[in-house]
């Protein structure tokens, strides 16, 4: 059966106006070009992952801060004025509340991908304010006449700094800023005292801060490398899997990928009582192209057909190069004779546009076989193949539909 021409052209104008303008419609691209992951986008992914980890890890720190504030206030209660303690407790509570709201919003909105980076600023500001309320607040709540209580305050700050080192280690800047805010005010005060005990305690804090800088650098760069490696491995795996399915020359599915995906498509259609169509086509007198212009010209023809298929068929259709110069399209028809019409479109696209190779124009054509029906993949392909051979017998450059 040959598709009727007047009807066909009206169909072509309706369905493929871009083809007649000499361009191909982009929404029908079967193989959209994936965004290539550059080093900077990989770094952004790592930053996203680190921030995700921070949000996940530091939620309990809000409550640790509140509990520590309650404990320290109880310890200082007999020796410190409530006019001093109350405002400090209030500031700590307001900060904890702000952080709680931030975490609740984050968990409610559940940002994904790069959107998470928009939360980095607010996370950092609340962390900074909370650390400053502890670091500077400690100087206000510390009783100046009791060295015992001064050391107790210092003990709490060192404890919180140790916590910050483990909780915020994913981000070195945040870790060091938090520890600096916690320790620098009290350390400076201790070092400026004239007696040995506070100076020695202050020096201890300096030693702690230096080891924290080193530990923070090691922890954060190890985490960074491990996150980056994870992403690189994932990308490499995805690329290798995709490459194993793609025919290098035509850029479309290879035979193996076609049978894997085709079987799934056929099973789906059989389960849902839907029809499926197969188009098989083979370049006419391909051997002559190879013989006359060389193998590279033949390769260019195969590449050209791969591009036509990539730009013409729908995302839901499946196309592949299944032999030397033999291609297949598997599609779920949405209108009667759609497969025959698509075959005719492809035939026209191939025969009307010669390939340019080494300054020469090569005219090519292909013969098409179409089969429609709710049968298994092998039967469908056998029928389409038989129709394609009929097209060859009929003189080539034509579409034949299986009865």
Nearer to Mg ion, 81 or 287 (CB): 287
**Site mask for ligand GH3 (CB under 6 A), range 351-380, x = bound:** ------------------------------
**Member of 290, 307, 351, 397 binding ligand GH3 (CB under 6 A):** 290
Binding footprint of Mg ion on the chain (CB under 5 A): 282-283, 286, 325-326
Q: Residues 285, 314, 382, 390: which binds ligand GH3 (CB under 6 A)? A: 285
| Number of residues in contact with ligand GH3 under rule CB under 6 A | 16
Partner in contact with 216, chosen from ligand GH3, Mg ion, none, beta carbon below 5 to 8 Å by kind: none
By the rule CB under 6 A, 135 interacts with ligand GH3: no
Judged by beta carbon, residue 259 or residue 286, the one nearer ligand GH3 is 286
**Shortest distance (Å) from residue 389 CB to ligand GH3:** 9
From Mg ion, ligand GH3, none, interface partner of 376 (C-beta below 5 to 8 A by class) = none
Looking at residues 292 to 321 of the shown chain, list those that interact with ligand GH3 (rule: CB under 6 A): 295, 298-299, 302
> H/E/C letters for each residue in the chain?
CCCCHHHHHHHHHHHCHHHHCCCCCHHHCCCCCCCCCCHHHHHHHHHHHHHHHHHHHCHHHHHHHHHHHHHHHHHHCCCCCHHHHHHHHHHHHHHHHHHHHHHHHHHHHCCCHHHHHHHHHHHHHHHHHHHHHHHHHHHHHCCCCCHHHHHHHHHHHHHHHHHHHHHCCCCHHHHHHHHHHHHHHHHHHHHCCCCHHHHHHHHHHHHHHHHHHHHHHHHHHHHHHHHHHHHHHHHHHHHHHHHHHECCCCCCECHHHHHHHHHHHHHHHHHCCCCEEEEEEEECCHHHHHHHHCHHHHHHHHHHHHHHHHHHCCCCCEEEECCCCEEEEEECCCCCCHHHHHHHHHHHHHHHCCEEECCEEECCCEEEEEEEECCCHHHHHHHHHHHHHHHHHCCCCCEEECC
**CB of 387 vs ligand GH3, minimal distance in Å:** 14
228 binds ligand GH3 (CB under 6 A): no
Interface with ligand GH3 (CB under 6 A) = 249, 282-287, 290, 295, 298-299, 302, 324-325, 392, 396
């Amino acid at each position: 059966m040959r598709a009727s021409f007047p009807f066909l052209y009206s169909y072509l104008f309706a369905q493929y106006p871009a083809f007649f303008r000499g361009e191909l419609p982009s929404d029908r691209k079967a193989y959209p070009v994936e965004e290539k992951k550059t080093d900077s986008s990989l770094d952004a992914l790592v930053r996203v992952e680190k921030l995700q980890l921070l949000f996940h890890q530091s939620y309990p720190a809000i409550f640790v801060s509140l509990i520590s504030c309650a404990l320290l206030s109880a310890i200082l209660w007999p020796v410190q004025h409530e006019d001093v303690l109350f405002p400090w407790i209030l500031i700590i509570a307001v900060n904890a509340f702000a952080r709680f709201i931030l975490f609740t919003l984050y968990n409610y909105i559940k940002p994904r991908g790069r959107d998470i980076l928009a939360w980095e600023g607010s996370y950092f500001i609340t962390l900074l304010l909370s650390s400053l309320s502890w670091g500077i607040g400690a100087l206000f709540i510390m009783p100046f006449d009791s060295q015992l209580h001064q050391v107790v305050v210092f003990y709490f700050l060192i404890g919180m700094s140790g916590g910050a080192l483990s909780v915020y280690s994913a981000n070195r800047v945040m870790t060091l800023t938090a520890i600096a805010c916690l320790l620098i005010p009290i350390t400076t005060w201790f070092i400026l005292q004239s007696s040995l005990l506070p100076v020695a305690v202050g020096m201890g804090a300096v030693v702690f801060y230096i080891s924290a800088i080193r530990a923070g650098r090691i922890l954060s760069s190890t985490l960074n490398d491990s996150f980056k490696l994870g992403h690189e491995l994932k990308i490499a795996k995805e690329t290798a899997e995709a490459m194993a399915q793609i025919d290098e020359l035509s850029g479309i599915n290879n035979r193996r990928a076609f049978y894997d995906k085709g079987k799934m498509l056929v099973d789906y259609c059989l389960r849902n009582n839907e029809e499926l169509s197969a188009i098989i086509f083979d370049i006419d007198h391909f051997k002559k192209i190879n013989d006359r212009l060389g193998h590279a010209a033949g390769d260019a023809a195969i590449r050209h057909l791969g591009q036509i298929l990539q730009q013409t068929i729908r995302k839901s259709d499946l196309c592949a190069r299944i032999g030397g110069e033999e291609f297949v399209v598997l599609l779920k028809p949405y209108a009667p004779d759609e497969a025959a019409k698509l075959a005719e479109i492809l035939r026209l696209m191939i025969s009307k546009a010669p390939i340019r190779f080494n300054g020469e124009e090569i005219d090519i054509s292909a013969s098409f076989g179409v089969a429609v029906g709710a049968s298994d993949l092998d039967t469908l392909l056998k029928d389409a193949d038989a129709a394609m051979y009929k097209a060859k017998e009929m003189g080539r450059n034509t579409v034949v539909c299986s009865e």
